Amino acid sequence: MRRVSPVCQVDPGGMWAVTRYEDVLFVMKNPALFSSEGFKVAWQPPWVGYNPFANSMLAMDPPAHTRLRSLIHRAFGAATVARIEPRLRAVAVELTNRLVEETDFVQAVGHPMPAFAIGEILGLDHALHANFKRWADDIVAITPELPLPEDAQRVRTTIAELSGYLMEVIAKRRRAPVDDTVSDLVRAESDGQRLTDTEIVDFLVLLLLGGLETTTHLLSNSLLFLADHPEMMRQLHAEPGLIPLFVEEMLRYDGPVQALARIATSDVVLSGVTIPRGALVIPMLASANRDEAKFKDPDRFDLHRGSQGGLHFGHGVHFCIGAALARMEARVALEAVIARFQRVERVPGELQYNRTLTVRGPVTLPLRFTPVSAAGQ
The tens digit of pLDDT for each residue in 329-355 reads 999 999 999 999 999 999 998 899 987
> 376 pLDDT exceeds 60?
no
Rounded mean pLDDT of 64-90? 75
In CATH, which of 1.10.630.10, 2.40.160.40, 3.40.50.300, 3.40.50.620 is domain 7-375? 1.10.630.10
> 6 pLDDT exceeds 60?
yes
pTM, 2 dp: 0.85
Beta 15-18 vs 280-283: how paired, if at all? parallel
Q: Tell me what percent of the residues of the chain surpass a pLDDT of 90.
A: 51
Give pLDDT, residue 134. Answer: 85
Domain ranges for the chain: 7-375
43-73: pLDDT as tens digits: 788 888 888 887 777 666 666 666 666 666 6
251-308: pLDDT as tens digits: 999 999 999 888 999 999 999 999 999 999 999 999 999 999 999 999 999 999 876 7
